A = this chain, B = another copy of it.
Amino acid sequence: MITATILSIGTELLFGQTVNTNAAEVSLELQALGIGVLYHHTVGDNPGRMREVLELSLKESDIVITTGGLGPTQDDITKELIAEVMGVGTEFNEEALTRMTEMFQRLGRKNFTENNKKQAYLPVGSTVFQNDEGTAPGFALRGSTGSDFRGKVAIALPGPPREMRAMLKKDVIPYLAGLSDAALYQKNLRFYGVGESALETLLLPLIDGQTDPTIATYAKDGECIVRIASMRGTEAEAEAAVLEAVLKVKAIAGKYLYSSEGEELSEVVVRKLREKGLVLAAAESCTGGLFAKNVTDISGASAVFDRGFVTYSNEAKTELLGVPEAVIEEFGAVSRETAELMSEGALQNSAADIAIAVTGIAGPEGGTEEKPVGLCYISVSRNDEASKTILTESIKKTIIQRSRSYIRSIAVLEMFNQLLIAISEK
């Protein structure tokens, strides 16, 4: 088995100011490629300690992947250290400089300093990975015959997670797949409405004693992901093996499955709205715009999203959505009655075919014994063409009392789930 070590560089990690998500993200991808991860190490910007850990890692693993320390400042020495340890120099990379200056120009930033140029020097003989999300390029360097680490591979990636992630998917996975003579095929199945341990228990007959394809479950706030991966002689063989496993998983847990293509729940909803030619509006209280934000995260959402009402105050619910003051007074802003009038008001005050509303208590303040933090009402209204009336259906959901942001994100996930149910019925 090919082995790897992940070496994260950054004083902010050692200080505990930043949680190291990069190591987990890289590990997940390495796992899927059949590469065994032996260690994660984190060091600060200390050259002596960085060097020691880098050499140890190259000694013990076939591949070392570093994240961080590629920036323009004096502390950023990852590149220089890798070159030194692997016994090569650095050379100026014209394309990297061009891309960097383009990015600065596009931004209209004039302060392109000399130390930014430092980022365009890369180890001699390395495969350069251009950075689409930032300025620092990454690279892969293979130890040459004369090197202490002959045949070993060092891969350097930027530290900011967005930059790291983009480079990992676009460049690093294909590069690593090329090191092995096997082909990888993988699929991510996404589930809603079932916990990870319950799903794992269901799938245990498939997971137990697995070799290839591998089947692994991951929990995500309110959701589960099952990753199925196969490495075979050809991609066609790997694909066939994965698709066979997908069928088995579907047979067991299909009722919780909402995407076999790794789509987010919001993406599935937007795609289905578009397929059915439906236009959506939203009225949000406790989620305060998070639902609309998640819809409009998707490029092209304008085809299906007309408008959103963030009716945070009671006055806004009355003025924008027509929820009578008397209803809010009698039942409260967080009530089934208010939620239903909100979705009906959103439908009537927009050009939408279907409208969703939420009202709840995101906390940490504002909960009562009767209406605790985490309580929310979600309502969906749509025009019924046959009866020329509005159909409204609502649910009450009590979300486990974790953080405010957790409660808000679970409420939004449930909104997408309710929309999916409503669209699928229509």
Q: Which residue numbers of A lie inside 8 Å of B, CB to CB?
A: 8, 11-21, 23-31, 37-44, 46, 49, 53, 71-73, 103, 106-109, 111, 113, 115-116, 132-134, 160, 162, 166, 195-198, 200-201, 216-219, 221, 227, 282, 284, 287-293, 295-297, 299-302, 305-313, 315-316, 319-320, 349-351, 362-365, 374, 398-406, 408
Contact = CB atoms under 8 A, between A and B. Distances in A.
B15 A404 contact: no
B315 A400 contact: no
A310 B312 CA distance: 13
B299 A218 contact: no
Given A15-B31, A16-B37, A290-B293, 17 more contacts: A16-B27, A19-B21, A20-B40, A39-B42, A72-B196, A73-B196, A115-B201, A132-B402, A133-B406, A282-B310, A288-B295, A289-B296, A292-B292, A297-B405, A299-B404, A306-B312, A307-B313
A90 B109 CA distance: 62
Contacts of A284: 289
Contacts of A109: 195
The list of the 7 closest CB pairs from A to B, nearest first, reads A288-B296, A16-B27, A289-B292, A308-B310, A289-B289, A16-B28, A307-B316
A217 B11 CA distance: 10
Given A12-B218, A49-B39, A291-B289, A312 B316 contact: no
Contact of A43 (B14, B39, B287, B316): B39
Contacts of A305: 288, 312-313
Given A108-B398, A113-B201, A288-B295, A24 B28 contact: no
Contacts of A313: 302, 305-307, 351
Copies of this chain, how many?
2
Nearest to A119: B197
A36 to B, nearest CB: 8
A307 B317 CA distance: 9
A220 to B, nearest CB: 9
A288 B299 contact: no
Contacts of A8: 40
A27 B39 contact: no
A177 B46 CA distance: 26
B17 A28 contact: yes
Contacts of A362: 296, 299
A305 B284 CA distance: 13
Nearest to A37: B14
A17 B218 contact: yes
Given A16-B23, A300-B365, A39 B41 contact: yes
Given A288-B308, A400-B106, A14 B38 contact: yes
A400 B20 contact: no
A39 B13 CA distance: 9
A294 to B, nearest CB: 8
A278 to B, nearest CB: 14
Contacts of A316: 306-307, 350-351
A19 B43 CA distance: 17
A323 B78 CA distance: 53
Contacts of A398: 106-108
A195 B104 CA distance: 11
A291 B310 CA distance: 11
A24 B31 contact: no
Contacts of A301: 288, 312
Given A133-B403, A312-B305, A37 B23 contact: no
16 contacts: A14-B40, A16-B23, A17-B216, A20-B20, A73-B200, A115-B197, A133-B403, A160-B221, A162-B221, A287-B293, A288-B292, A290-B293, A305-B313, A307-B309, A307-B310, A307-B316
